[in-house]
Amino acid sequence: MKRNPRRAVMSLAAIVFGLAATLTHAQDQLPSWNDGPAKQAILEFVKATTQGGSQFVPPEARIATFDQDGTLWVEHPMYTQVMYCLERVPDLVKARPELKDKPPFNTVLELLHGDRAAMEKLNMKDLELIAAATLTGMPVDQFNGEVKKWISAAKDARWKRPYTQLTYQPMQELLRYLRANGYKTYIVTGGGQDFVRVYAEQTYGIPPEQVVGTAGGTKYGYGKGGKPFLTKDPQMLLNDNNAGKPEGIHLMIGQRPVAAFGNSTGDQQMLEYTKAGEGTRLAMIVLHDDAEREYAYGPAERLPVTKVGTFTQALFDEAKKNGWTIVSMKDDWKRIFPFENQ
């Protein structure tokens, strides 16, 4: 028999990796999760779907989708992307002076230098106008550069830290744990796909192609010397909220997730769609019930209702009825942020 040196090497590698997997498994990969039903559900789900048996899911079908705002990082009191749009207004009116005295841009300019909290009062139509003007109409590369610059400098008002530091440590551990078990992790956000793609790799280890979000079209054209480039178009292609989440998942991923994670009514259909697949599925919903360490808002009976991340009583009831796992930030999370002392 002829010896195949490549096969011999691969077998050795398999042994080495098997050993590495065993060593890693022995450690607790979710140290920021308290022991309890939520952590247990995660461990059982991963065991059932990756270690053989009737519920085994082949690696190519291991898709896990995560909402971003309120699920992976803080969304309160205002979505980070809305802050971006508002804080872009001064540069916008510099480039387009005709907007300076026009509502809602004049109002935003005033509030940025005064009562910032009053910006919550801007209505949906105002926000849409501001979003269109700050998120579209420029080359893709220019937009990416502007977001990159802003996100590295802007700070949250409460923690005085960059927004990208306000991710939830338990969810970061969960992302890594799923990836270590062969899951492809996706962000499926109601936020702007192009916006989130700028920082998702560095912030969550999720590459641009695994970020699904609300997306507009682009227009291909030629610049100086015939160099081709894409311009961001205001036309909306995908409103990645509510029913738009499973629709966006089909468009961008083409497979039904095996696990999904959300925190609001905008995630309901993604969680339903995931849970309705065959075999073991994991649907989890984060309940913001920790006013001290983060914020408390949610089902009206128990917590204050806010404008962002609507977690209604109906959603809470559906979660219980459909066997979604409810994650209590207060009870299930030992530590909220990566920067906290361990």
Enumerate binding residues for a copy of itself (CB under 8 A). Answer: 5-6, 9-10, 12-13, 16-17, 19-20, 23-24, 60, 63, 140, 184, 193-194, 197, 201, 207-209, 211, 215, 217-220, 227-230, 237-238, 243, 246-247, 250-255, 269, 272-273, 276
Instruction: Please tell me the distance from the alpha carbon of residue 75 to that of residue 166, in angstroms, as a whole number.
Output: 9
Instruction: Please tell me the distance from the alpha carbon of residue 342 to that of residue 337, in angstroms, as a whole number.
Output: 10
Long-range contact pairs involving 253-258 (C-beta distance under 8 Å, separation at least 24) = 253/63, 253/65, 253/186, 253/212, 255/61, 255/63, 256/63, 257/63, 257/64, 257/65, 257/186, 258/49, 258/57, 258/61, 258/62, 258/63, 258/64, 258/183, 258/282
- Cβ distance to a copy of itself smaller for residue 244 or 298: 244
Pairing of strands 325-328, 296-297: unpaired
Minimum distance from residue 245 beta carbon to a copy of itself (Å): 9
- Cβ distance to a copy of itself smaller for residue 159 or 229: 229
Instruction: Please tell me the distance from the alpha carbon of residue 49 to that of residue 259, in angstroms, as a whole number.
Output: 10
- The enclosing H or E element of 66 equals strand 63-66
242 burial class (0-12, 13-18, 19+ CB within 10 angstroms)?
middle
275 burial class (0-12, 13-18, 19+ CB within 10 angstroms)?
middle
Task: Give the 3-state secondary structure of residue 128.
Answer: helix
- Cβ distance to a copy of itself smaller for residue 111 or 282: 282
Minimum distance from residue 53 beta carbon to a copy of itself (Å): 23
Instruction: Please tell me the distance from the alpha carbon of residue 289 to that of residue 298, in angstroms, as a whole number.
Output: 8
Minimum distance from residue 123 beta carbon to a copy of itself (Å): 28
CA 212 to the chain's CA centroid: 9
- Cβ distance to a copy of itself smaller for residue 108 or 196: 196
Minimum distance from residue 191 beta carbon to a copy of itself (Å): 14
- Cβ distance to a copy of itself smaller for residue 114 or 254: 254
- The enclosing H or E element of 24 equals helix 5-26
Minimum distance from residue 219 beta carbon to a copy of itself (Å): 7
- Cβ distance to a copy of itself smaller for residue 36 or 221: 221
Minimum distance from residue 175 beta carbon to a copy of itself (Å): 16
Minimum distance from residue 220 beta carbon to a copy of itself (Å): 4
- Cβ distance to a copy of itself smaller for residue 110 or 201: 201
Minimum distance from residue 268 beta carbon to a copy of itself (Å): 10
Asked if 57 and 258 touch (Cβ cutoff 8 Å), the reply is yes
Asked if 322 and 283 touch (Cβ cutoff 8 Å), the reply is yes
- Cβ distance to a copy of itself smaller for residue 67 or 156: 67
